[in-house]
């Protein structure tokens, strides 16, 4: 039982010290977690955790580790605020992944972002179809900022006292040159219909399509691999 008291005191001290450190560093360390901040948090947690269960380390060592790492983080934050050129290295840069309604495949590859991940991020911004998006920017903290096309922005139908219309989810039919057969079948569509729709847009093979989706009552939306940001 005697060894539990030091662990309790060290844990309590570590909690208080980390709490003070987060207040000093500011809310951006939590709400805007960049890759650098993520690594810093891991290292800081590892330092405190190792010190807690090391019999040769006490409150003094824990406090020193927290203060030292806190000073390093604080100085780094000052550097990024004073010297703009260091921000891209330490904090990263926002990346445009949808430009004028077109997916920028090269930027998505650089960010290791696939279609499914992008759709998840867009849905979190109430954009259930890529066709609704004019611009999408992948922020340094991994979230996406979305500017919808004007036809999908407010005001909505209620603002004009219009009758509601049926809404349908966008169905992904082609992803990175491959047909999503389950989605095609679930939407009661056929391969012949899909190929006819591609031919209408002068696309001869599925392998030339980076992304395609369909919404009931609308034409198929197709983006070839060749689309690039201007």
Q: Distance between CA atoms of 130 and 148, rounded to whole angstroms?
A: 9
- pLDDT attached to residue 25: 56
Q: Which long-range contacts (CB under 8 A, 24 or more apart) does 62-69 make?
A: 62/10, 62/13, 62/14, 62/17, 63/13, 63/17, 66/14, 66/17, 66/18, 66/21, 67/17, 69/40, 69/43, 69/44
- The dihedral through the CA atoms of 64, 69, 73, 75 has a sign that is positive
Q: Please give the average per-residue pLDDT across 37-42, as a whole number.
A: 66
Could you read off the pLDDT of 77-128 as tens digits, one per residue? 788 777 767 766 666 778 899 998 899 989 898 888 889 899 999 999 989 9
Is pTM beyond 0.85? Reply is no
Instruction: Give the domains, in start order, of the chain with CATH numbers.
Output: 4-89 (no CATH), 95-152 (3.30.240.20), 165-224 (3.30.240.20)
Higher pLDDT, 97 or 12: 97
How confident is the model over 135-176, as pLDDT tens digits? 999 987 788 999 898 788 777 666 666 676 676 778 999 998
Question: What pLDDT is stored for residue 79 in this prediction?
Answer: 81
Cα separation, 212 vs 177, whole angstroms: 9
């Amino acid at each position: 039982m005697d060894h539990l008291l030091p662990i309790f005191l060290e844990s309590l001290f570590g909690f208080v010290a980390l709490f003070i450190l987060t207040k000093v560093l500011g809310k951006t360390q939590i709400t805007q977690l960049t890759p650098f901040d993520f690594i810093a948090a891991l290292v800081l947690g590892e330092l405190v955790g190792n010190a807690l269960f090391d019999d040769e380390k006490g409150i003094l060592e824990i406090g020193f580790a927290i203060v030292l790492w806190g000073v390093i983080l604080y100085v780094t934050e000052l550097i990024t605020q004073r010297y703009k050129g260091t921000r891209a290295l330490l904090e990263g840069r926002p990346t445009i992944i949808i430009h004028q309604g077109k997916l920028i495949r090269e930027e998505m590859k650089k960010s290791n972002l696939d279609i499914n991940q992008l759709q998840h991020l867009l849905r979190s911004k109430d954009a259930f179809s890529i066709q609704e998006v004019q611009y999408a920017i992948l922020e340094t903290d991994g979230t996406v900022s979305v500017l919808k096309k004007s036809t999908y922005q407010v005001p909505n139908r209620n603002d004009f006292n219009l009758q509601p219309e049926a809404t349908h989810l966008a169905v992904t039919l082609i992803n990175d040159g491959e047909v999503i057969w389950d989605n095609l079948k679930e939407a009661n569509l056929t391969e012949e219909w899909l190929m006819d729709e591609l031919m209408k847009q002068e696309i001869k093979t599925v392998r030339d399509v980076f992304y395609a989706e369909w919404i009931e009552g609308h034409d198929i939306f197709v983006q070839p691999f060749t689309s690039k940001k201007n």
